[in-house]
Structure 1
Amino acid sequence: MRSVAIHGVGISRVPGVHSTDFEVHRNWLALTNSLPLSKWYYEETSEWTLDYPPFFAWFEWTMSHIAKWVDPAMVVVENLGYASDATILFQRASVVVTEAVLFYAVVSIFADVADARKRIILTALVFLSPGLLFVDNIHFQYNGFLYGIQLLSIHALWKERYLLGGVLFAVTMNFKHIYLYQAPAYFVYLLSRYCFIETNGSFSFSFLRFVKIGISVISVFLVSFGPFIQHIPQVLSRLFPFKRGLCHAYWAPNFWALYSFADRVAIQGLKLAGKGAELGEVPSLTRGLVGNSVFAVLPNIEPIHTLILTVVFQLPSLYSLWKRPTKDAFVDSLVLCGFSSFLFGWHVHEKAILLVLIPLSLVATRTRRHAQIFYILSCAGYLSLFPLIFKATETPTKVIVFLLYAMTSSHFLAFLTKETAANKSERGLQLNILERLYVYGMGPLYIYAELVHPFVFGSRLEFLPLMLVSVYCSVGVLYSFVALSFLIE
């Protein structure tokens, strides 16, 4: 199913389909192919400078040697915005091919499920994710490939191959540093499960094992960053650009979207009260790439504040994992560590919701409540990605894919949770009335944002529908976080 969707969206319509991220990766192909390594993280002919860790740079370098045979102009740094048919075809095909890693990982994880029907359904919940289709195959990134490596690391840990699991996760972080947010869960799990040895009911710390896992992980970072040792400050400045604002140009559906919305509401309240003059010039919160966000009424937020909040909300799941280092507790902590970073992190992109949804899909059928939370979060998370796909020609694709996944996942989740329920007569996900109203409310919201607003306002208030989608989805995302947190034992 997925391959058909990928080829239908990404290949049969090659001439017209490309995005900002498409040009980002084309530029990275060009600079890694055309320039010496020492200049990769300094090059700024394009505004889309290289800002991923070294392993991803080497990944682009490897692909560039194939790309130059497909279309030599593709790997010329000065060819900004270059998008020949051959270039689009090559880059689309590269996503499809590398997603084989994800498919292999998902199949491996669920290989031990005896019931073939259950195994297929569980595989589909992960591999047929609309988010991966939207972000990778339409908007254009390589998340499926990276999540495949991470899932392989989870599978290795489940099989008690701890060194391999740790190394694979270190590799993942050196492809894309957003995974750093989930590193605390790996650290606690490996420390408690691998470095502490149980003997006759008591635990003893193995310094040798601690050194082995430490050397294994550090070696990955040395291989990754070693060739750039003279340029580490420059590389780090690219990886962690704190000069960017708190919120991305399009607000990710997290706590800061609600915070920003509250500031906008407060501004309007003061204006209605006749105190608008006291506010002075109201700053924009949607500058995206440059400059810190400045609030007019609410206190301003600095990167350190987001770090503190992220760590604080990660701690409960990490403490639970330390006390009970089981496979389920590890995935729970992995999900909630990613969730905390998505909700409270600095300059979070809406695409980062996949950091939560992909690992959560592994345990979505553990209990009926897990299934309910996963369903609500997946609907809110995938709807929040709609503004990434803003071309009218893409509208039928995103709507049909979203609706198909919403309907089929509801059926699959209900079927699997019914199989494990004590009362076999229970049917459906059994969302409560507020949860159902929230999910149903996505329809009117979409119709207003995509159809009614442009018809009524034209080009005026163009950010309003984006803000409404972001805020509405933020409610569902925050609700899911709270609900999931209560399931921690």
Structure 2
Amino acid sequence: MLDVNHSTDFEVHRNWLAITHSLPISKWYHENTSEWTLDYPPFFAHFEFGLSKIAKFFDPKMLEVTNLNYDSKAAIYFQRLSVIVTDLMLVYAAKNIHFQYNGFLFGLLLLSVAKISQGENLTGAFWFAVLLNFKHIYLYVAPAFIVYLLRSYCFTESNKDNSVRWRSLSIVRLAALGFIVLTITGISFGPFIAMNQLPQVLSRLFPFKRGLCHAYWAPNFWALYNILDKFLTVAGKRAGFTASTNLTTSASMTGGLVQEFEHSFLPTVPPLVTFLLTAVTMLPALFRIWRHHDGWRGFVRCIVLCAYSSFLFGWHVHEKAILIIILPLSLLAVTSVDDARVYLLLSTVGHYSLFPLLFTRPETPIKVCLFCAFTVFSFLALQQIHRVEDKHPRPALGLPLLSVFESLYLWLLVALFLYTDGVHPLLGLSAQLPFLPLLVTSVYCALGVTYSWIKFYRLCLSGHEIKKSHVKTS
């Protein structure tokens, strides 16, 4: 049986190794012996297939579809080694252990951004198309890539008499861009289209019946919406009002389960509403990079804002998607003091929000030490880069570059940690209220994520500091 010290991601990817190794391609997206069915795009399925050819030399039993929750030492070592090796893509892209292979996917994201920022638009489009066909969560930032590439590559402009005059759309450039994207997508999905399985694949990639929120609520707008509904439910019952749904349905919200549920007092949120909110909050940033053509920094800011909008308002958002915001924002943090302020706030609360993913006692000192070391380094390094001198003496607990209010919010994370990892289990509440630490962590972190989004949104639309660098070279 699967060791409780392993996350479910270990079994997810072990099962995908087994599916792609043991079954013909026509059955990959139909196999459902395990609850962890294959639900990534075809490139990742082929990636698992390639890994399985090596995995068989470690332990052939891990490649049996019916061998659920199998976790031999050899299987564990293989999974760890494969993650470490593929994370070299992140090292390559940044020039700078998690069982979902996120490292090399982030590497592809950085590589695509770097190429486009260097003016190699077609190369950047190629790598981003590859990335989308590995993991479709990067659709979050696809609008930024689409609009920027159309604006900066497919359209050109001339400037005469201090006025911008548009030239006609370059059909050749549009065709070249479309050819790359369609070719990569065709290679990925072609076999499944030929087998008339495209609807089945898409149903796995976009499982809307999983519900509004992931089992562990991502710290986004819907976490705040859920807790407000829970509060109104309790308050309404005490006031004598009757909730719109029964107690079982209401309690399922905080049961840590992946499922659909209805809200009790607030309107139940369908997928269409989340899509519209996401799209509407993206549009101003997309319009800005189309209208103002702010260069690579405007492009990266738009990526960050699209990722923010998708994370805050998307359907069934995974908590780890916060990293899709933090990573590109780090590129901006070293070039602008305003971006740095948002980054310090978001990265601190965002990284803390991932603490519950490392839930065993032996992992606690490791995650705390790494978190503290990275956070302290980020504050000191960015303060030194931007050479910001406080106009007024900073309070004893004031943090560099942040306001007193923001500093206080981050310091309260210490109290939150002491409760969730100390007081809660010591009071014997773990069995009675097992989801409470997750709920409190998610809701508190959602406040910080939402606040930082508002702050960055204003910064992005104003275009402040977009045309000047604050990096000191001395």
Instruction: Tell me the TM-score normalized by structure 1.
Output: 0.87
**More deviation, 354-363/252-261:** 354-363
- Select the residue among 192, 201, 216 that pairs with 2:151: 192
Whether contact under 8 Å (1:182, 1:334) holds in the other structure is: yes
| Residue of structure 2 equivalent to 1:296 | 264
Whether contact under 8 Å (1:247, 1:293) holds in the other structure is: no
Check if 1:165 corresponds to 2:120. Answer: no
Paired residue type of 2:134: F
| Residue of structure 2 equivalent to 1:147 | 106
| Residue of structure 1 equivalent to 2:351 | 382
- Residue 355 of structure 1: CA displacement? 1.0
| Residue of structure 1 equivalent to 2:208 | 242
Instruction: Output one character per residue of 1:157-192: Cα deviation in whole Å (capped at 9) or x when no partner.
Output: 011111111111010000000111211101111011
| Residue of structure 1 equivalent to 2:138 | 179
Instruction: Output one character per residue of 1:435-460: Cα deviation in whole Å (capped at 9) or x when no partner.
Output: 01000000000110111011114311
| Residue of structure 2 equivalent to 1:203 | 166
| Residue of structure 2 equivalent to 1:224 | 188
| Residue of structure 1 equivalent to 2:71 | 83
- Residue 73 of structure 1: CA displacement? 0.9
Check if 1:359 corresponds to 2:325. Answer: no
Whether contact under 8 Å (2:346, 2:452) holds in the other structure is: yes
Instruction: Tell me the TM-score normalized by structure 2.
Output: 0.90
- Select the residue among 292, 310, 313 that pairs with 1:344: 313
- Select the residue among 28, 31, 37 that pairs with 2:16: 28
Check if 1:402 corresponds to 2:390. Answer: no
| Residue of structure 1 equivalent to 2:300 | 331
SS in 2 for 1:199: strand
Q: Which sections of structure 1, spanning at least 5 residues, go unmatched?
A: 1-14, 108-122, 124-136
Q: Which sections of structure 2, spanning at least 5 residues, go unmatched?
A: 464-474
Separation in 2 of the partners of 1:253 and 1:350?
A: 7
Separation in 1 of the partners of 2:401 and 2:66?
A: 56
Separation in 1 of the partners of 2:82 and 2:144?
A: 31
- Select the residue among 455, 465, 469 that pairs with 2:426: 455
- Residue 422 of structure 1: CA displacement? 9.0
- Residue 198 of structure 1: CA displacement? 2.5
Separation in 2 of the partners of 1:102 and 1:278?
A: 49
Whether contact under 8 Å (1:244, 1:288) holds in the other structure is: no
Paired residue type of 1:213: L
Higher fraction of helix: 1
**More deviation, 189-198/56-65:** 189-198
The RMSD of aligned alpha carbons is: 1.9
Whether contact under 8 Å (2:92, 2:107) holds in the other structure is: yes
- Residue 484 of structure 1: CA displacement? 0.3
- Select the residue among 139, 147, 156 that pairs with 2:115: 156
Instruction: Output one character per residue of 1:26-49: Cα deviation in whole Å (capped at 9) or x when no partner.
Output: 011111011100000001111100
SS in 1 for 2:209: coil
Whether contact under 8 Å (2:223, 2:446) holds in the other structure is: yes
- Residue 279 of structure 1: CA displacement? 5.6
Taking a change above 3 Å as real, the CA distance of residues 274 and 103 of structure 1, as seen in their structure-2 partners, is same
Separation in 1 of the partners of 2:329 and 2:185?
A: 27
Paired residue type of 1:152: L
- Residue 415 of structure 1: CA displacement? 1.1
- Moved >6 Å (runs of 4+): 422-428
| Residue of structure 2 equivalent to 1:253 | 219
Taking a change above 3 Å as real, the CA distance of residues 367 and 79 of structure 1, as seen in their structure-2 partners, is same
Separation in 1 of the partners of 2:326 and 2:317?
A: 15
Separation in 2 of the partners of 1:437 and 1:105?
A: 35
SS in 2 for 1:66: helix
Whether contact under 8 Å (1:41, 1:238) holds in the other structure is: yes
| Residue of structure 1 equivalent to 2:30 | 42
Whether contact under 8 Å (2:333, 2:339) holds in the other structure is: yes
Separation in 1 of the partners of 2:214 and 2:31?
A: 23
Identity of aligned residues (%): 50
- Residue 424 of structure 1: CA displacement? 11
Separation in 2 of the partners of 1:243 and 1:223?
A: 29
Separation in 2 of the partners of 1:445 and 1:214?
A: 49
Whether contact under 8 Å (1:368, 1:429) holds in the other structure is: no
SS in 1 for 2:309: helix
SS in 2 for 1:42: coil
| Residue of structure 1 equivalent to 2:235 | 269
Whether contact under 8 Å (1:245, 1:289) holds in the other structure is: no
Separation in 1 of the partners of 2:405 and 2:53?
A: 54
Taking a change above 3 Å as real, the CA distance of residues 362 and 425 of structure 1, as seen in their structure-2 partners, is farther
* Total equivalences in the alignment: 444
